[in-house]
Structure 1
């Protein structure tokens, strides 16, 4: 009985957090990040999973102009302060749901660490973006490098977390199919 309650709780949490994360993600993609790209003619920092150079960062900041940089700080960053936590909570809830269904705890723990690491890297990236915008035009090459590396790490860990969830779902599906075959 206790396992069933935990399973349902994790499922509800995953749905709730997933809905909120998806809503914020769509708002960022179709509104704030799209507006930043229109203003600058360049891809925003958040849309560069391979990172960016000092020259690319300065080109974006320059192309944004004062009002675009304010928009980034006032519109995009607040949304991107909510999104990483919601995404991590979604992934952790899904992983815990899979764990309550008998998926190997080591796989679940790896996925949880990937999820937390991805959110942490996203917050480091956001801090770097804020520092770059606030210090413009005296942006430090070290700040750009740190934000860029955080972006790359975030992308890699997010991919790892999502793949871990998918792998867990595949294991669970095969486990169920095997149980029904008996």
Structure 2
């Protein structure tokens, strides 16, 4: 797979990354502060599938959907899911460019390390697949969710693993950048 590095470098500039970061996290804040709590009013304390990074069982899905009832499932499908169809795209692009931006800052842009910027895109694709599974289950509940729940759970786990690895790499990169800046400051 050949990456067009010049095009990627062009977009991984401070202002672009900052604007994307603000937009991405504004959408995330809307989900965390509005749409998810609105659906969770019907969940009796059960977590929504989107918010379970370690996965879930088909039995949990059945219990959650039964607990949500018709109105909770309707809100999940028509309030939470639509905004969560925007977020994975923003997450993938924003956090890829953010990592590449920091790689540029520490002079570590070679073709191999640049591929780490794909992790947020993998997480975003897995998030979309998870969303399509949730939509399917919400539309077919309570029948026939066993297989769909198991498959959707796989994509939930892929999303979680890719995101976790990404944030560890981002944290290490930021620590390296700060160490370089401190070393430079001390040497002056």
State the TM-score, normalized to the length of structure 1.
0.88
What is the alpha-carbon distance in structure 1 between the residues aligned to residue 52 and residue 23 of structure 2?
A: 23
Aligned with 2:138 (options 133, 136, 155)? 133
Specify every segment of 5 or more residues in structure 1 that has no aligned partner in the other structure, as ranges.
none
Aligned with 1:58 (options 51, 57, 62)? 62
Q: Which residue of 2 aligns with 1:117?
A: 122
Cα distance, 1:150 vs structure 2: 1.0
1:25 aligns with 2:25: no
Q: Which residue of 2 aligns with 1:146?
A: 151
Q: Which residue of 2 aligns with 1:40?
A: 43
Cα distance, 1:77 vs structure 2: 0.6
Give per-residue Cα distances to partners, 1:136-173, cap 9 Å, x unaligned: 12133111011111111111111111121111122222
Which structure shows the higher helix fraction? 1
Cα distance, 1:50 vs structure 2: 0.9
Q: Which residue of 2 aligns with 1:100?
A: 104
What is the alpha-carbon distance in structure 2 between the residues aligned to residue 169 and residue 10 of structure 1?
A: 16
What is the alpha-carbon distance in structure 2 between the residues aligned to residue 24 and residue 76 of structure 1?
A: 11
Specify every segment of 5 or more residues in structure 2 that has no aligned partner in the other structure, as ranges.
1-5
Cα distance, 1:104 vs structure 2: 4.6
Give per-residue Cα distances to partners, 1:14-55, cap 9 Å, x unaligned: 211111111111111121111221112121111111111111
Q: 1:107 to 1:170 in 2, by over 3 A?
A: farther
Give per-residue Cα distances to partners, 1:60-110, cap 9 Å, x unaligned: 111112222111111101111111111122211112212322125333422
The 8 Å contact of residues 103 and 171 in structure 1, kept in 2 or not, is answered as no
State the TM-score, normalized to the length of structure 2.
0.85
Count the aligned residue pairs: 177
The 8 Å contact of residues 88 and 128 in structure 2, kept in 1 or not, is answered as yes
The runs of at least 4 aligned residues of structure 1 exceeding 4 Å deviation read 6-9
What is the alpha-carbon distance in structure 2 between the residues aligned to residue 170 and residue 108 of structure 1?
A: 18
Aligned-residue RMSD, C-alpha:
2.0
